[in-house]
Amino acid sequence: MTNSVVTRFAPSPTGFLHIGGARTALFNWLYARKLGGKMLLRIEDTDRERSTKEAIDAILDGLKWLELDWDGDVIYQFSRAARHREVAEGLLAAGRAYYCYATPAELTAMREKARAEGRTRLYDGMWRDRDPATAPSDVKPTIRLKAPQTGETVIEDQVQGRVVWQNENLDDLVLLRGDGTPTYMLAVVVDDHDMGVTHIIRGDDHLINAARQKQIYDALEWELPSMSHIPLIHGPDGSKLSKRHGALGVDAYRALGYLPAALRNYLVRLGWSHGDQEIFSTEEMIDAFDLSGIGRSAARFDFAKLENLNGHYIRQSDDQSLVTQFERVLDYVPEGAALKAKLNDTTRAQLLRAMPSLKERAKTLIELIAGAYFIFADRPLELDPKAAALLTPDTRALIGRLRTALEAVNDWTAENTETAMRNFAEQNNLKLGAVAQPLRVALTGRTTSPGIFDVLAVLGRQECLARLADQAV
Ligand code: GLU
45-81 pLDDT per residue, tens: 999 999 999 999 999 999 999 999 999 999 999 999 9
- Beta bridge partner(s), residue 152: 166
Determine how many CB atoms are found less than 10 A away from the CB of residue 139: 15
Catalytic residue among 34, 53, 146, 243: 243
Residue 3 pLDDT > 60: no
The lowest-confidence range among 247-251, 350-354, 392-396 is 247-251
CB 38 within 8 A of CB 29: no
Mutating to test ligand 1, I would choose from 14, 17, 44 the residue with most ligand atoms within 8 A of its C-beta, which is 44
Determine how many CB atoms are found less than 10 A away from the CB of residue 366: 17
| The residue type at 258 | Y
- How far, in Å, is the centroid of ligand 1 from the Cα of 183? 13
| pLDDT-based confidence at residue 1 (cuts at 50, 70, 90) | very low
| pLDDT-based confidence at residue 104 (cuts at 50, 70, 90) | very high
Q: What is the pLDDT of residue 473?
A: 84
| pLDDT-based confidence at residue 314 (cuts at 50, 70, 90) | very high
Give the pTM.
0.92
- How far, in Å, is the centroid of ligand 1 from the Cα of 112? 29
Q: Which residues line ligand 1 (CB under 6 A)?
A: 10-12, 44, 188, 202, 206
CA distance 306 to 458: 30
| pLDDT-based confidence at residue 336 (cuts at 50, 70, 90) | very high
CA distance 458 to 438: 18
End-to-end, the C-alpha distance of the chain in Å comes to: 79
CB 400 within 8 A of CB 435: no
Catalytic site includes residue 340: no
Q: Among 239, 256, 238, which Cα is nearest to 248's?
A: 256
Helix axes 452-471, 432-444, angle to 10 degrees: 70
- Beta bridge partner(s), residue 163: 155
pLDDT in tens, 174-223: 999 999 999 999 999 999 999 999 999 999 999 999 999 999 999 999 99
CA distance 245 to 248: 8
**Mean predicted confidence (pLDDT) in 295-320:** 96
Structural domains of the chain in order of their starting residue, each with its CATH number: 80-230 (3.40.50.620), 250-376 (1.10.1160.10), 385-471 (1.10.10.350)
Longest dimension (CA), the chain: 110
pLDDT in tens, 252-272: 999 999 999 999 999 999 999
- How far, in Å, is the centroid of ligand 1 from the Cα of 12? 6
CA distance 355 to 86: 60
